[in-house]
């Protein structure tokens, strides 16, 4: 079902591909600042009521005890076997209200648990444009990212912006309208002092706030960021946004699958890449595999806690960056255009063509993991990817091979050329972003 699903790589709605060029916009996040409009593509679920904290504590694998008004918190949602369903960011709106923001994978699980458990909470969903029947959003969201970000926002606020600690939320005004901002950075480029604020407020004021930010940013060379450069920004911070959710097997998960229905993203997103297994569970990951092991809080009970405790001392795959060989990338791109049969097409800056991208990574002809997010970024000057590899291989400088292209010559999905051939691409492991 997933191999033949018609949805390909997620396209960011409303955003143009670029405002200047994607390379120019990538440079801005290390030299000045870039503004990304996040108002349209992210899913949101509002949770309100006296049991807000209890329902979140029962779901997430990390510590939630300090979460309250004007705090940010990550949500890490697992199934009953401790395998990852998805993640999201929680924004504390009040002592008994928050909004969870991210992909639908974790948010649907939150809604299901809240609605089917014995919780005194109200749930309201606000889906991304394209999935939202109203065509409207409750809040606008702008990410201002880069060395000049704080100066720009402070100027736009007319001096009303308070000091905001990391992963805390501040309240102030822009263009005469009340806004809030979460202090977090989407980027961690070595040698560059990074700051980032995610600013949000009522959607009816989005244009006025945006204009004020752009006016304040003119002297700092603030750039507007389009969909192409936005699709690459998570690579820098090391976030794997779309591992396959571990929901498709198991009797305990059957009620959830039936509740989701055939029209949900989980039933229509596509699985692609050269990693090919008949067992869907081979695509499941744990929090350790995607780099969340250090924030797990296993001394309490939550969905999946028992399984995670039992597996804590076992070997885990580790998240790493792979730097792809220039010569092999060039050959793959060239052969996709000028050879017969061609290789899988190679587009820039984001070659990904499936919702869930899993390309086989080999070491000495043995599969040792999967490469997922793939991007070209100007600060690295190369194609690189995020991968989950066996512990023994996840060492700086280890040489591996990524297999590029679909098994069996492709699939009937849009964006996948029929009759293409696979090609090996050499890559080097890096345990930190290779800028």
Each of the 435 residues of the chain gets a pLDDT tens digit; together they read 999 898 888 888 889 999 999 999 999 988 999 999 999 999 999 999 999 999 999 999 999 999 999 999 999 999 999 999 999 999 999 999 999 999 999 999 999 999 999 999 999 999 988 887 777 899 999 999 999 999 999 999 999 999 999 899 999 999 999 999 999 875 544 444 457 899 999 999 999 999 999 999 999 999 999 999 999 988 988 999 999 999 999 999 999 999 998 989 999 999 999 999 999 999 999 999 999 999 999 999 999 999 999 999 999 999 999 999 999 999 999 999 999 999 999 999 999 999 999 999 999 999 999 999 999 999 899 999 999 999 999 999 999 999 999 998 877 787 888 899 999 999 999 999 998
Q: What is the CATH number of domain 43-127+240-311?
A: 3.30.70.1400
Answer yes or no: are the C-beta atoms of 131 and 42 closer than 8 Å: no
The token pair that represents 51 in the structure block: 């049991």
Binding site, annotated residues = 198
Helix, strand, coil percentages for the chain (3-state, nearest 5): 25, 30, 45
- Which has the closest alpha carbon to 203: 14, 409, 428? 14
Collect all residues with Cβ–Cβ distance below 8 Å to 180 and sequence separation of at least 6: 70, 91, 169, 170, 171, 172, 199, 200, 201
- 206-217 helix and 149-156 helix, angle to the nearest 10 degrees: 120
Where along the chain do its domains lie?
22-41+135-237, 43-127+240-311, 318-430
Answer yes or no: are the C-beta atoms of 289 and 44 closer than 8 Å: no
- Which has the closest alpha carbon to 104: 10, 6, 206? 10
pTM: 0.94
Q: How far apart are the C-alpha atoms of 185 and 162, rounded to whole Å?
A: 17
Binding site, annotated residues for substrate = 198
Task: Give the number of C-alpha atoms closer than 13 A to the C-alpha of residue 284, restricted to the C-beta side.
Answer: 18
Q: What sign does the CA torsion over 214, 207, 176, 198 have?
A: negative
- 104-116 helix and 52-59 helix, angle to the nearest 10 degrees: 120
Helix (H) or strand (E) holding 187: none
Helix (H) or strand (E) holding 383: strand 382-389
Q: Which fold is adopted by the domain 22-41+135-237?
A: Gyrase A; domain 2 (3.30.1360)
How many Cβ atoms are within 10 Å of 279's Cβ, its own excluded? 8
Q: What is the CATH number of domain 318-430?
A: 2.40.30.110
3-state secondary structure at position 259: helix
Strands 318-324 and 382-389: antiparallel
Do domains 22-41+135-237 and 318-430 share one topology? The answer is no
Collect all residues with Cβ–Cβ distance below 8 Å to 312 and sequence separation of at least 6: 298
Q: How far apart are the C-alpha atoms of 107 and 46, rounded to whole Å?
A: 10
Kindly tell me the burial class for residue 254, based on how many C-beta atoms sit within 10 Å of its own C-beta (0-12, 13-18, 19 or more). Answer: exposed
């Amino acid at each position: 079902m997933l191999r033949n699903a018609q949805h390909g790589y997620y396209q960011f709605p409303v955003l143009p591909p670029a405002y200047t060029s994607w390379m120019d916009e990538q440079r801005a996040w290390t030299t000045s600042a870039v503004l990304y409009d996040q108002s349209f593509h992210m899913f949101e679920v509002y949770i309100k009521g006296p049991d807000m904290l209890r329902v979140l504590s029962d779901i997430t694998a990390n510590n939630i005890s300090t979460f309250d008004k004007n705090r940010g918190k990550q949500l890490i949602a697992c199934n009953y076997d401790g395998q990852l369903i998805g993640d999201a960011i929680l924004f504390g709106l009040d002592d008994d209200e928050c909004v969870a923001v991210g992909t639908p994978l974790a948010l649907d699980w939150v809604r299901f648990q809240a609605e089917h458990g014995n919780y005194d909470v109200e749930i309201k969903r606000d889906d991304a444009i394209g999935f939202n029947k109203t065509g409207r959003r409750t809040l606008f969201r702008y990410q201002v990212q880069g060395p000049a970000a704080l100066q720009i926002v402070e100027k736009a606020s007319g001096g009303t912006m308070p000091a905001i600690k990391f992963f805390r939320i501040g309240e102030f005004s822009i263009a005469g309208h009340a806004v809030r901002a979460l202090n977090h950075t989407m980027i961690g480029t070595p040698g560059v002092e990074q700051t980032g604020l995610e600013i949000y407020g009522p959607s009816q004021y989005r244009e006025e706030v945006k204009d004020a930010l752009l006016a304040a940013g003119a002297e700092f060379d603030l750039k507007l960021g389009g969909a192409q450069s936005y699709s690459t920004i998570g690579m820098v911070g090391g976030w794997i946004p779309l591992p396959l959710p571990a929901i498709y097997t198991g009797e305990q998960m059957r009620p959830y699958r039936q509740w989701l229905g055939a029209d949900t993203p989980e039933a229509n997103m596509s699985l692609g890449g050269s990693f090919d297994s008949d067992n869907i569970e081979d695509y499941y990951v744990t929090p350790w595999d995607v780099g969340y092991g250090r924030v797990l809080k296993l001394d309490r009970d939550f969905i999946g806690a028992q399984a995670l405790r039992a597996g804590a001392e076992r070997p885990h795959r580790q998240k790493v960056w792979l730097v792809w060989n220039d010569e092999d990338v060039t050959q793959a791109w060239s052969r996709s255009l000028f050879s017969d049969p061609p290789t899988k097409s190679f587009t820039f800056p984001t070659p990904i063509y499936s919702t869930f991208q899993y390309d086989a990574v080999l070491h000495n002809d043995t599969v040792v993991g999967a490469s997922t997010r793939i991007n070209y970024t100007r600060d690295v000057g190369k194609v690189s990817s995020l991968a989950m590899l066996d512990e023994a291989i996840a060492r700086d400088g280890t040489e591996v091979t990524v297999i590029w292209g679909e098994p069996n010559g492709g699939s009937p999905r849009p964006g996948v050329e029929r009759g293409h051939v696979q090609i090996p691409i050499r890559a080097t492991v890096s345990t930190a972003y290779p800028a």
